């Protein structure tokens, strides 16, 4: 029986999401790329940055479900993104930075939609796209493992938050929406 699963996560600049996902025990591989856009001929950084391709900077996350649940991966994802803004994360602005969760199977769809409902329960605006993966093309090699190659490189995700998930273990039934005070504090810090 195959123990690996794949989910595609768009969370602003792919450098940080890739690095975050690689730090989670049970994640086998995380690869930066472009998802759900016009086609392979437009899947390059310069063209994607025009905002005319529909592509989102996305990370392909392959994980061992015996070691880490999709719920845990999505908990980490929602912890570091701001789901209340559209076409933006941190200082990065543009359609390529739109947040999204793209699935390739029914079980992942159900999990993503269930977790999104929990996240939406605060009543705040919610702009995370959730839908099937239409296409994915790996980003240029210089984008792969970017923060590993460039330790001082820009990232909209605080390093302390990335370290937090390095020892992550959470069971599916334990996923809960963080307290409103925690969310307010986090979003206030993100805006500063």
Closest to 28 in 3D by CA, of 49, 4, 8, 1 = 4
pLDDT band with cut points at 50, 70 and 90 for residue 180:
low
Closest to 190 in 3D by CA, of 90, 101, 105 = 90
Is the per-residue pLDDT at 189 higher than 70?
no
pLDDT of 141 reads: 94
pLDDT of 172 reads: 47
Is the per-residue pLDDT at 175 higher than 90?
no
CATH code, domain with 25: 3.30.1060.10
Q: Which residues contact 168 (CB under 8 A, 6 or more apart)?
A: 24, 25, 68, 72, 75, 76
9 close to 104: Cβ distance less than 8 angstroms: no
Residues spanned by the domain of 78:
4-191
* pTM confidence score: 0.85
Q: How many helices (H) and strands (E) does the chain have?
A: 7, 8
pLDDT of 187 reads: 46
Its sign, for the CA torsion 156, 88, 82, 107, is negative
Query: Is position 49 annotated as part of the catalytic site?
Result: no
pLDDT of 167 reads: 64
Summarised one tens digit per residue, pLDDT across range 28-42 is 999 999 999 999 999
Summarised one tens digit per residue, pLDDT across range 107-136 is 999 999 999 999 999 899 999 999 999 999
Number of domains in the chain: 1
User: Which one of the listed residues 6, 7, 13, 80 is annotated catalytic?
Assistant: 13
pLDDT of 153 reads: 82
Least confident of 63-77, 79-93, 159-173: 159-173
CA–CA dist 188, 94 (Å, integer)? 21
pLDDT of 22 reads: 93
| Mean pLDDT along residues 4-14 | 93
């Amino acid at each position: 029986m195959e123990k690996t699963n794949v989910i595609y996560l768009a969370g602003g600049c792919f450098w940080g999401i890739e690095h975050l996902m690689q730090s989670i025990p049970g994640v086998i591989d995380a690869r930066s790329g472009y998802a759900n856009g016009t086609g392979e001929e437009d899947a390059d950084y310069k063209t994607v940055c025009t905002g005319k391709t529909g592509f989102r900077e996305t990370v392909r996350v392959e994980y061992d479900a015996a070691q880490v649940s999709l719920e845990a991966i999505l908990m980490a994802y929602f912890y570091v993104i701001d789901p209340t803004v559209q076409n933006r994360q941190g200082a990065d602005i543009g359609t390529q930075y739109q947040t999204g969760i793209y699935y390739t199977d029914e079980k992942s769809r159900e999990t993503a939609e269930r977790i999104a409902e929990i996240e939406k329960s605060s009543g705040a605006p919610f702009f995370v796209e959730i839908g099937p993966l239409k296409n994915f093309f790996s980003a240029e090699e210089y984008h792969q493992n970017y923060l590993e190659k460039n330790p001082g490189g820009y990232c909209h995700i605080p390093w302390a938050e990335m370290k937090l998930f390095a020892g992550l273990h959470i069971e599916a039934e334990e996923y809960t929406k963080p307290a409103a005070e925690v969310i307010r504090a986090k979003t206030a810090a993100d805006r500063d």
